[in-house]
Copies of this chain bind each other. A is one copy, B any other.
């Protein structure tokens, strides 16, 4: 039997549920393609409508504005990713193994998950890297937060933070380290591709270097108990 994965979304993100119609699914599908190719600034409902073969007003019936649509697809990604992590780390006891798998998952190119027909996760992953922070770097962050639009991201952060604590319950920065892992897995990839001198991976441009860096960073930190006096080298 084929398993179909469904991500439960916050109702306030849309006016009409895009998953419940062909048009809605097309809006999601082509938004992802358009934003990935041209960038969020260039993306408009009019251009999207033309690409789908509907009208601008048609898109507005589903989403209030493009910011909400971006929030929708990014939230969807975090929900999907959380499931991937739960699945990937299921039945594994060792938190070291779990953390390494998570770092790898966050840093590596994602491939399209065929159990979600209208969403291309490979493209969505690229969007999260390039556009992800634009959903919270706004003056409406407080209001959006009150509507729980960042819950999937927070849940993911808690999930990772709890695994960190599972490994070292005395570690004082589990949430901050978790958000650092998520953000840096993406940002170091972006820098490596676009501004390589901000990284040490400009030559190889290989995600395995990003993974090695994050592993080193994370495990050095959570293995180091003495917070005030970190061990001297040699």
Contacts and interface: CB of A to CB of B under 8 A. Distances in A.
A180 interface: yes
A136 interface: yes
Contacts of A178: 198
Contact of A216 (B139, B157, B198, B230): B230
Interface residues of A, number: 61
Tell me whether chain A's interface is mostly helix, strand or loop, or mixed: helix
Nearest to A157: B198
Contacts of A175: 197-200
Number of copies: 2
A128 to B, nearest CB: 11
Given A131-B137, A138-B39, A223 B232 contact: yes
28 contacts: A41-B138, A131-B137, A133-B137, A136-B190, A141-B194, A142-B194, A145-B194, A154-B195, A157-B198, A168-B233, A172-B216, A174-B200, A175-B198, A175-B199, A175-B200, A176-B188, A176-B199, A176-B201, A179-B187, A179-B188, A179-B191, A180-B188, A183-B184, A216-B221, A219-B230, A223-B224, A223-B230, A225-B234
Interface of A: 38-39, 41-42, 130-131, 133-134, 136-139, 141-142, 145, 150, 153-154, 157-158, 168, 172-180, 183-184, 187-188, 190-191, 194-195, 197-201, 210, 212-213, 216-217, 219-225, 227, 230-234
